[in-house]
Chains A and B, each alone.
Chain A
Amino acid sequence: MFKIKDLKFKNILDIDYLQVEEHNVTCIVGKSGGGKTTLLKLLNNMISADKGEILYKDKNIEEYNPFELRREVVMLPQTPVMFTGNIRDNFEKTLRYTVRDLADDVTYKGLLEKVGLTHSLDSDTKNMSGGEKQRIALARVLLLKPETLLLDEPSSALDDETEDFIIRMVVDYSRETAGTLVMVTHSRSVAEKFADTIITLSDGKIQDIVDNISLKDENNMHYSGL
């Protein structure tokens, strides 16, 4: 899906080669300040590399219309920010900003349920908890039906139980729609549980890439053997 070649961004990232597979769940782990968020922003073209190239579907992302690219490769930032107004406004603004037709309340309600919320669409988002905002932000992203999802610490504002629920939901969504999911997480256990591939970033460099599918299978075999 993505191929990164000789990439340099300030003194934050320095990647010789990296490939992110299509239809896969890729987790990026590593210490904070290691360049994880920067890498996601580069894939979403929120920033452009100083050197090197990033190919998306074998075409340099700088050659895409940036807005159309971002609608296909949507990024959810770590700190959720609500658009002013109620939940419906948040959905409608998402559609308006991206030049799409508005949807109906049934669609919005369905997305809310998907992220585990039962609020009325008229609820003001201003006084919601971090976790609730994170879920609404996620629902907003799902409304756009992106092919590729970039999630930056999707569970930072959530407790463990909700974290598990949300991530499982996103992973399921991605698998059902044969989408591609790239997720930055501080939690190695989350990565080991859900990822097909785990990339460890350290000081802006790729430290290692682990094929987690075979590891997961191995674990499953162990368990079944017991």
Chain B
Amino acid sequence: MQDVTLIGLAAAFIFLLILLAIMRKERLGHEWEIILSSVRMTVQLILVGYILTYIFDNPSVWFSLIVLLLMLTFAVINTFQRVGNVPEDIKKIVGVAMFTGTGITILYFIILVFRIEPWYQPQYFIPIAGMMIGNSMTGITLGIDGLLTGMKDNRAVIENALMLGGKPSLIMREITGRAFYQALVPTINSMMGMGIVFLPGMMTGQILAGAPPLAAIKYQIAIMLGIMGSVTLTVYIVIKWGSRTFFNQRGQLK
């Protein structure tokens, strides 16, 4: 595999300077944000590089599980930050959904689809888990947003339907259905354009690293289905349970 030289890498930073020059010339502000994000990206990746090297050289169940736990925790926190004002009841559900939904899919794909032995082998376990968790996080963020907005916009309709004796689960069906679809849109779109509009990151990485394209696509197909599976499970749990939190035992709006 052809490695990127340090000088080559340094040459890539030229584009950062171009961006900064444009921002300064056009007085757009935000220069520090760009510098900070570039520095963070570089430092974070270097750190992760060293950590992964260590973990790959010393494979252990515990390392893999700790990394999984950290990724899940960050994903959950990130979701709350991105949506903002997530009700406490739903926060708990997001935690449970993220851990069970992605957990089940990750284990299923690692053990039954990719048949990795031992299952915790970090160079497979960590990136596969990362992709599923990252996409589930985006899905949940969109799903909760759809649910909360749907609830806010339709409160009067829901109240009206309750007064007629409607069941919350039936009344909420349209809103939850829309939120669920909204959460799946990025996954559907990326599957639609896959291979034609763009080559997915994982596949590109494998090809760059010297893998034959046909081997790379098999992984890519499997991983896309894995992403779909984990987004589906996590978002479904969040929306289904989350929609119940708006009502109490007596079917009254909280």
Instruction: Please report A residues at the B interface, Cβ cutoff 8 Å.
Output: 44-48, 62, 66-72, 74-77, 79-84, 93-94, 96-99, 137, 140-141, 144
Contact = CB atoms under 8 A, between A and B. Distances in A.
Ordered nearest first, which 4 A-B pairs have the shortest CB separation?
Answer: A97-B166, A71-B165, A70-B165, A75-B163
B252 A74 contact: no
Chain A binding surface, main DSSP class: mixed
Interface residues of B, number: 18
Contacts of B253: 46
B164 A140 contact: yes
A66 B164 contact: no
B250 A97 contact: no
B167 interface: yes
Chain B binding surface, main DSSP class: helix
Interface of B: 156-157, 159-167, 170-171, 174, 250-253
Contact of A67 (B156, B157, B165): B165
B162 A46 contact: yes
A144 B156 contact: no
A97 B163 contact: no
A226 to B, nearest CB: 44
Contact of B167 (A67, A72, A144): A67
A47 B163 contact: no
A97 B252 contact: no
A98 B250 contact: no
Given A48-B252, A66-B250, A79 B156 contact: yes
Nearest to A68: B165
14 contacts: A46-B163, A48-B250, A74-B164, A76-B163, A77-B156, A84-B157, A84-B174, A93-B161, A96-B170, A97-B161, A97-B167, A98-B166, A99-B170, A144-B164
